[in-house]
């Protein structure tokens, strides 16, 4: 049985993963209509992964005797100033999610919920990988410069095709 404090903070994460999915969906749609099919592809896949994360939190809460709350979600921004600001926003958002996951770990330690602490560790590892993937994209972007966004877009498409994006198995 989940303690109230843990159930609450896990439900907060359901909302945050859901918002992440919507945010990347909005970015993907923007990229698709701005002539960047590779980046759109990457972002659509990212959005699906976030939806999967949300589902994992929902199932975990329910499996442990809690009650997952399906949230109404805030409308994400739907205009972006360019590719670099977009990926900078992705990195900032992932850093926010990492901090959020760390707060769950802290709550688990305080409440001595070793089971949830053990379960959440895959998300701790996932966040290291997600931040590093986005940083890698930003580094590539610095190398190619704004003149070669076409090449950059193809490059991102290759990254997806090689399956470099992360996914957490249940």
Tokens encoding 10: 């896990």
Query: Is position 130 an interface residue for ligand FEO (rule: CB under 6 A)?
Result: yes
Question: For ligand FEO, which is the closer residue by CB, 7 or 130?
Answer: 130
User: Distance between CA 148 and CA 158 in Å, rounded?
Assistant: 16
Query: Is position 97 an interface residue for ligand FEO (rule: CB under 6 A)?
Result: yes
Query: Which positions from 29 through 58 interact with ligand FEO, judged by CB under 6 A?
Result: 50, 53
Query: Which positions from 131 through 170 interact with ligand FEO, judged by CB under 6 A?
Result: none
Query: Which positions from 77 through 96 interact with ligand FEO, judged by CB under 6 A?
Result: 94
CB of 99 to ligand FEO, least distance (A): 11
SS (H, E, C) 35-100: CCHHHHHHHHHHHHHHHHHHHHHHHHHHHCCCCCCCCCCCCCCCCCCCHHHHHHHHHHHHHHHHHH
Question: For ligand FEO, which is the closer residue by CB, 1 or 169?
Answer: 169
Question: For ligand FEO, which is the closer residue by CB, 3 or 68?
Answer: 68
User: Distance between CA 27 and CA 44 in Å, rounded?
Assistant: 8
SS3 113: coil
Interface residues toward ligand FEO, by CB under 6 A: 17, 20, 50, 53, 94, 97, 130
């Amino acid at each position: 049985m989940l303690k109230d404090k843990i159930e609450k903070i896990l439900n907060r994460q359901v909302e945050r993963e859901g918002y992440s999915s919507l945010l990347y969906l909005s970015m993907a749609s923007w990229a698709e209509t701005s002539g960047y099919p590779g980046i759109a592809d990457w972002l659509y896949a990212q959005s699906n992964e976030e939806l999967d994360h949300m589902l994992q939190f929902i199932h975990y809460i329910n499996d442990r005797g809690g009650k997952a709350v399906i949230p109404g979600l805030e409308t994400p921004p739907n205009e972006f100033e360019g590719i670099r600001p977009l990926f900078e926003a992705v990195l900032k958002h992932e850093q926010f999610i990492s901090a959020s996951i760390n707060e769950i770990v802290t709550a688990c330690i305080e409440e001595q919920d070793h089971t949830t602490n053990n379960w959440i560790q895959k998300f701790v590892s996932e966040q290291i990988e997600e931040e590093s993937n986005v940083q890698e994209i930003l580094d590539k972007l610095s190398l190619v410069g704004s003149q070669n966004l076409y090449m950059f877009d193809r490059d991102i498409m290759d990254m997806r095709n090689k399956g470099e994006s992360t996914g957490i198995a249940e």
